[in-house]
Amino acid sequence: MDKQPKEPVKTSIADTIDNEAGSLSELNCVFSTQQHGEKIVVTTIMSPNGKETEITADFDDAMKLGVQAMDIEPTPEESRRLVRKIDLCMFPLMSLVYAIQFMDKTTIGTAAIMGLITDLKMTGDDYSWAGSAFYFGYLGGLFVLPPLLQKTQYFMKFLCSIIMLWGLILALHSAPSVNYASFIVLRCLLGFFESSVTPAFTIITSQYWKKEEQFLRICIWFGFNGLGAMWGSSMAYGLYIRAGTYSISAWKIVFLSTGCITIFAGVLMMLHLPDSPLKAWFLTKHEKLVLTQRIRGNQQGFGNHHIKKHQIREALIDPRTWLYFLYCIAANIPNGALTNFQSILFKSDFGYTTKKTLLVSTGIAAVEWGGLPLLGFASYYCSKKQVKYLESRLIWSIISLLITFMGMCMLAFANDSKNARLAGLALNYISPLAFICVLANISANTLGYTKKWTVSSTTLIGYAAANLAGPHTFISSQAPHYTGAKVALVVCYGACIVIIAALYVLNANENKRRDKLALENPPQSDMKNIEFADLTDFENPYFRYTL
């Protein structure tokens, strides 16, 4: 039972926190504080929904630097220099690891046409279930790894340990004793550990960059999926044309090689990347203060290591959570289908040889590696120039989905032209821009560290469930053209356009409502460092949603 509230005491928050919680942080104002059991209530604030919200002493990690950074006004050149430094120190390894994780999960597709199916005696829908097994593990991992990543003070070390573990599991795919049953188990374990990387990278992006900079950064590291696909196909091609010179099957060497590469990348990442901006070895004390001041406008900081139940509840009643979830269902049924069956489609529907399939797969993956950063730069440029409508990342998301929808129509209905079908399949590599937009929205528009993890995990549950279902749209009885699967791709991308449009309308209307409310009832103006109080987007009256 909570103790009875003490009488309000007029004191500085610095005194309250130092005496009661041992924290070095403060809001830099004088408020009434109350003791509610173990919880120190610093003050209350009226949320945009008209509810009185308690601000407790359980602040964001950035509060420690937020007070010291208040008087700093970084010059444009100083900001540019800091961003360049962070980009150079963080981005190469983040992008490399993201390329490798995509290569890891798609090795099954290249291995399938190199003898995997025959050697493991797969028949009927066995291969579809092998593709789905990864996402059974992925689904389970989302309930375990994100909460552990939030609670740990050693975020990057824990993440890198996970990366090295999945590299080891991938290498074990090549073990001599592997049969179909053990292969399924290994795919489940691989998915379990890989489930950590996308939510973790989304959180890292929100810690180091301003919200208007995040979309471009996510476009770049996510776009390295294309490099991963090119890398995997190129390596498989080299192994395939020399298959007779090895003592084990070439497809096993694919798994062994990618597993070793993953372990090496995990070690590099552990040695180089810090656990948080507070521990960034490549930043001076002044640069950390400038970084804190720059991200103040995000209305969020570096993170909080306590799981807050009210933020979980809020995440589950937020309509944005379920729009993200529905989008991931609609977008990733095609993703799960083509990740596992694209190589098979090239051989059965297009009539390509294994050799040509690997070469063509390498070529069209370049569309993603080049296209996503290019569209990200276009969006960033239009945002800086304030081009009407095109400054919205959600509009760019809809543009990419329209291009993809056209491509899927070409794949499904251009039966007389192999080149048109191939072009349609290549255009599908533009579709991740919309998924990047969803990740960027979670990063920029979901405040409260527990809420952000919850929304991210819920979204990726939809991602995993859809990828589970995706391979089963390819029904073996419909080979070699798989007409039903192609029509399903068209329908799914049509649904994606509607969902992203609904998200745009929801955020735009809520911003208008908050602007009107702020004119009628201005929020308290003396609350300094409230950005680092770990409030949610429902609670913070100063926050506006990014479109």
Question: Which run of H or E residues covers position 30?
Answer: strand 30-36
Task: Answer whether residue 124 shows pLDDT above 80.
Answer: no
Backbone angles phi, psi at 428, to 5 degrees: -60, -25
140, two tokens = 């389970």
- Tell me which of 114-123, 307-316, 348-357, 498-507 is least confident: 348-357
What ranges do the domains of the chain cover?
A: 76-520
CA 395 → CA 60, 378, 427, distances in Å?
A: 32, 12, 18
Percent of the chain whose pLDDT exceeds 90: 16
Query: Which pLDDT score, from 0 to 100, does residue 84 have?
Result: 92
Distance CA 417, CA 434 (A): 28
Query: Which pLDDT score, from 0 to 100, does residue 220 have?
Result: 84
Residue 44 pairs in a beta bridge with: 54
Backbone angles phi, psi at 518, to 5 degrees: -65, -30
Query: Which pLDDT score, from 0 to 100, does residue 43 have?
Result: 66
Residues 180/133, Cβ–Cβ less than 8 Å: no
Question: Which run of H or E residues covers position 259?
Answer: helix 250-272
- Tell me which of 63-72, 130-139, 163-172, 465-474 is least confident: 63-72
Q: What is the pTM of this model?
A: 0.76
Please state whether beta strands 52-56 and 39-46 pair in parallel, antiparallel, or not at all (unpaired).
antiparallel
Percent of the chain whose pLDDT exceeds 70: 86
**Per-residue confidence band for 304, with pLDDT thresholds at 50, 70 and 90:** low
Total Cβ atoms within 10 A of residue 127: 22
Q: Which 8-state DSSP code applies to residue 154?
A: -
Q: Which 8-state DSSP code applies to residue 115?
A: I
pLDDT, tens digit (0-9, with 9 covering 90-100), for 21-63? 334 334 444 334 444 445 566 667 777 776 777 666 666 566 7
CATH of domain 76-520: 1.20.1250.20
